[in-house]
Amino acid sequence: TDVNEAPTDIALSSNTVAENSATGTAIGTLSNTDVDTGNTYTYSLVSGAGDTDNALVSISGTSLKVAGAIDFETNPTLEIRVNVNDGANNFFEAMVVNVTDVNTAPTGIALSNSDVDEEVAVGTVVGTLSATDDGEDGTLSYSFDGGTDDVSFTIDGTSLKTDSSFDFETKASYSIDIKVNDGGATEFTKTFTITINDTVEDPTITMCSSTQTYGTVTNATTGKNVAR
């Protein structure tokens, strides 16, 4: 009498997925090894040894798909446990999906200080720039990105410096756009407002002199007129 025997293996057509892949992205197709023919197979994720990352994937028919946030820096590999049922028997297998690293854009820029006194010298450092990035593509570089008042400043490495003489009474704030590039094809831009501080200015004193003649008298001894 022929007896339906359980499958003996589960295979996945592809075991790699790029980090940050969208939910629903297909990772690979599931199949199995079974000596019996004509069975209908159902695949599912099950708990047990090797199920650490089951929550990050899903199974639709025979397709293993992305179901959560996949980050190479956090999880370079996904450990999942898959079951196949042939209608009567189950076979479980722990599987590993490799996550590939992808360069991601910086996600923020910070400026250590955003105000400067009026009338400071050109080249005065306003503040230091820093960025939030995964660090995959090396050196970060900063540049202006078309802000209204970009021309009033310069960027030297990570230092934002003045490139104009500021007068609080004329203009009290400046808007600049700064972008950071991580060495790849990804950038992030942020708008900053630089505030000009009003300072106490030395008073200006104007001195003048005048000469005025009120009349004359005659010196009785010399006979000369004397102004008085």
Q: What is the pLDDT of residues 89-114, one digit of tens each?
A: 999 999 999 999 988 889 999 999 99
For the chain, what is the mean pLDDT? 90
Nearest to 16 by CA among 25, 29, 24, 28: 28
* pLDDT score at 225: 55
∠ Cα 27 33 34 (to 5°)? 140
Which residue's structure tokens are 């590993």?
96
For residue 198, pLDDT beyond 90: yes
Which carries the bigger pLDDT value, residue 32 or residue 136? 32
Please give the pLDDT value at position 105. 85
- pLDDT surpassing 80 at residue 14: yes
How far apart are alpha carbons 95 and 30 in whole angstroms?
11
Q: Is residue 206 pLDDT above 70, yes or no?
A: no
68 Cβ partners below 8 Å, 6+ apart?
23, 55, 56, 57
pLDDT at 1 (0 to 100): 74
- Report the alpha-carbon distance of residue 75 to residue 54 in Å, rounded: 13
Residue 11: what pLDDT?
98
Q: What is the pLDDT of residues 130-157, one digit of tens each?
A: 999 876 666 899 999 999 999 999 999 9
- Predicted TM-score (pTM) of the model is 0.61
The span from the CA of 153 to the CA of 212, in Å, is 54
Q: What is the pLDDT of residue 109?
A: 97
Quick one: pLDDT at residue 96?
98
Chain-centroid distance of CA 137 in Å reads: 14
**Which residue in 15, 32, 161 sits closest to 79, CA to CA?**
15
The reply to whether 108-197 shares the fold of 9-100 is: yes
The pLDDT > 90 percentage for the chain reads: 77
CATH topology of domain 9-100: Immunoglobulin-like (2.60.40)
The whole-number average pLDDT for the span 190-215 is 74
Q: Where are the domains of the chain?
A: 9-100, 108-197
| Alpha carbon 88 to its chain's center | 52
Q: Concatenated DSSP letters for 48-68?
A: STT-TTGGGEEEETTEEEE-S
Residue 147 tokens, joined: 């802000």
CATH of domain 108-197: 2.60.40.60
Encoding tokens for residue 52?
Answer: 């650490």
Length of the chain counted residue by residue: 228
Question: Which pLDDT value is given to residue 103?
Answer: 82
**According to the model, what pLDDT value does residue 73 have?**
87
Q: What is the mean pLDDT of residues 193-203?
A: 87
Alpha carbons 164 and 120: distance in angstroms, whole number: 9
- Write down the pLDDT at residue 116: 98
pLDDT digit string (tens) for 58-76? 999 999 999 999 999 899 9
